[in-house]
Amino acid sequence: MGRYDALLFDLDGTLINTGPGIMRCAAYALQKAGISVNDPGSLRVFVGPPLSSSFPAFGVPQDGVADAIKDFRELYHAEGKYECAPYDGIEDALKLLKEAGFRLFVGTSKPEPTAREVLNRFGLDRYFELIAGASFDRSREKKEDVLRYMLKQISCRSPLMIGDTVFDAEGAAAVGIPCLAAGWGFGSAEEMKKAGALAAAESPAAMCAWLLNETENEL
């Protein structure tokens, strides 16, 4: 099975391509805040990190962040959460890893009930022992907070975080666990490596090969 016994997966940009819905809802909330977005591609940064850090980066003042999050979630829960799909090969990868003896978990900055709903919609929830996410009251929001919350509930010898953004690498480092970069997502594998990620897998199949030592850890 390899050296890791528990795999802690990010959701947005790692398991599910939730980008279209998240980016549309972010544009809507920014527009309501009076902020124009000239480059729609710049909204990719909303996929993964907490909304409370993304909106200020686009010029939303701190006293307007709560309203922006409210506007985002209003549209996201009505429509945006349905604008997504699993990445090609991800379910095959989860099945293979589970059959190989890995324990699988989800640790996401997406609110936990929403994460459960999205995974359930595509039948992916059945692969995971625990789906841990952020809380709506923002008391558990950053990736390291979610991971600490998760690790208190599970018993494992050697966990590994798998995610697509620097927030995943930094969150994993904050709780003292290693991270593998999911190079098919929305972040930068090079930035993740600078933040401490062990390596980058360019596809779910490459991730499985690395985890199963089929390529001697050379991707």
Q: Which residues are part of the catalytic machinery?
A: 10
Contacts for 190 with CB less than 8 Å, ≥ 6 apart: none
Tell how strand 159-163 and strand 179-182 pair up.
Answer: parallel
The neighbouring-strand residues paired with 131 are 106
Q: Which two tokens stand for residue 193?
A: 């490596």
Q: Which two tokens stand for residue 103?
A: 């324990």
From residue 39, give the alpha-carbon distance in Å to each of 29, 50, 64, 136. Answer: 15, 21, 22, 29
Q: Which two tokens stand for residue 153?
A: 């509930």
Question: 73-78: which pairs have CB atoms within 8 A and are 24 or more residues apart?
Answer: 73/25, 75/24, 75/25, 75/28, 75/29, 76/21, 76/22, 76/25, 76/114, 77/114
The answer to whether the CB of 23 falls within 8 A of the CB of 44 is yes
Tell how strand 16-17 and strand 103-111 pair up.
Answer: unpaired
Q: Which of 131, 204, 142 is nearest to 172 (CA)?
A: 142
